[in-house]
A and B are shown apart, each in its own frame.
Chain A
């Protein structure tokens, strides 16, 4: 999946306007990214990419950039 599509899936999961999430975002910049929002992101990783979030690094990311880089190393995302 291309990164832009994935970010739009995150927008959908967090009930935000399409295109409103960027690599620079963190829980501090996205009000919807609280503990419940974090579960919505995990669910999106599972449903959109089919990836298990069964490791600490796959669950405990603290920025969109960190998440996207991690998913790229796993071959789940491309530019």
Chain B
């Protein structure tokens, strides 16, 4: 018995922030030039009182409305987020109650960013294949906008908020296949919110703002990204990871119908595809109106391609997530 992605749903906040909005607010930003490289024209931003778990809740509700999804068969709920409601309890526990799932459900959060969806699929596959769960509800949601300084162009123009809900269940047909995972914690400092937890609690000192040479303002309370370091990490690790996965699965690059990279930005993905010799027409690009939605970016992209009739039954898809940590993971799946 194997495990298979049975259904995906997603939820985006109502408020949309366009490049034109950002240009009006920041006349010194070259939004046209940024759009040309990033491929991102707008992003959805959570309301002040709207959290990642709220978005995940709504994504799960939409999932439950899909045919063939039986909430009573869910035995595990795992929630990937870096924007938790509280230090404790786990948002997954609160979501078990909000979603009216049974008390037999095992529920927990895990803290990963752009690699998180692949790790979630890995855990879901293990839970199903070992017999622990009939179905696993994998939620992925983030609201990085709440960490972003409004004058930090490097991150504000890229990231959007959103959530996905994925049902992984048992299957005798081909489903989730091989995985390759990896970590390099030496890169932790290059994508980080320095303060706010116990290592460096928020204080007036951490709230002091500074503006760098490129005119971006941030404090230790807001998200920092060393774009050059992250780019280098990605173009080094991702092609190797894809190659390792194809080798593990004894596949050739052309055996894969769709390559679903974490939707970081268009420039990076096009360079990655070129390095891995992925044909442009097999690369999923779905960030123009949502931006980089962190752990939810891969499932949102997959679902949109499914809804567009591009990803179809029997297609082999390769998903690869990479980012904060550094952390990365790739896996293969045959679409149901």
B38 to nearest A CB, angstroms?
8
Q: Are A35 and B275 in contact (CB under 8 A)?
A: no
Which residues on the A side are within 8 Å of B229 (C-beta)? 59
Q: Is B66 an interface residue (CB 8 A)?
A: no
Could you list 21 A-B pairs, sorted by A, with CB under 8 Å?
A34-B33, A35-B153, A35-B214, A35-B227, A36-B38, A36-B267, A39-B37, A39-B231, A39-B268, A40-B37, A40-B267, A42-B231, A47-B275, A52-B232, A52-B236, A53-B232, A54-B233, A59-B228, A59-B229, A59-B232, A60-B228
- Selected from A35, A40, A58, A60, the residue in CB contact (under 8 A) with B154 is A35
A-B interface, 6 closest residue pairs, ranked by CB to CB distance from nearest: A59-B228, A53-B232, A36-B37, A43-B271, A39-B231, A35-B214
Q: Is A38 an interface residue (CB 8 A)?
A: yes
Q: Are A54 and B232 in contact (CB under 8 A)?
A: yes
Which residues on the B side are within 8 Å of A40 (C-beta)? 37, 267
Q: Are A46 and B235 in contact (CB under 8 A)?
A: yes
B23 to nearest A CB, angstroms?
15
Interface size class of A (residues with CB under 8 A): 10 to 19
Which residues, 11 to 27 on A, are CB-close (under 8 Å) to B?
Answer: none
Q: Are B271 and A47 in contact (CB under 8 A)?
A: yes
Between B37, B232, B235, B268, the greatest number of chain A beta carbons within 10 A of the residue's beta carbon is seen for B232
Q: Given A39-B227, A39-B231, A59-B228, does the pair A34, B236 have CB atoms closer than 8 Å?
A: no
* Besides A42-B232, A43-B231, A59-B228, 14 other A-B contacts (C-beta < 8 A): A34-B214, A35-B154, A36-B33, A39-B228, A39-B267, A42-B235, A43-B267, A46-B271, A47-B274, A47-B275, A53-B228, A54-B233, A59-B232, A60-B228
Complex: A46 Cα to B271 Cα, angstroms: 10
Which residues on the A side are within 8 Å of B34 (C-beta)? 36
CB-nearest residue of chain A to B227: A35
Q: Is B203 an interface residue (CB 8 A)?
A: no
Complex: A42 Cα to B228 Cα, angstroms: 8
Which residues, 258 to 302 on B, are CB-close (under 8 Å) to A?
Answer: 267-268, 271, 274-275
Complex: A30 Cα to B205 Cα, angstroms: 36
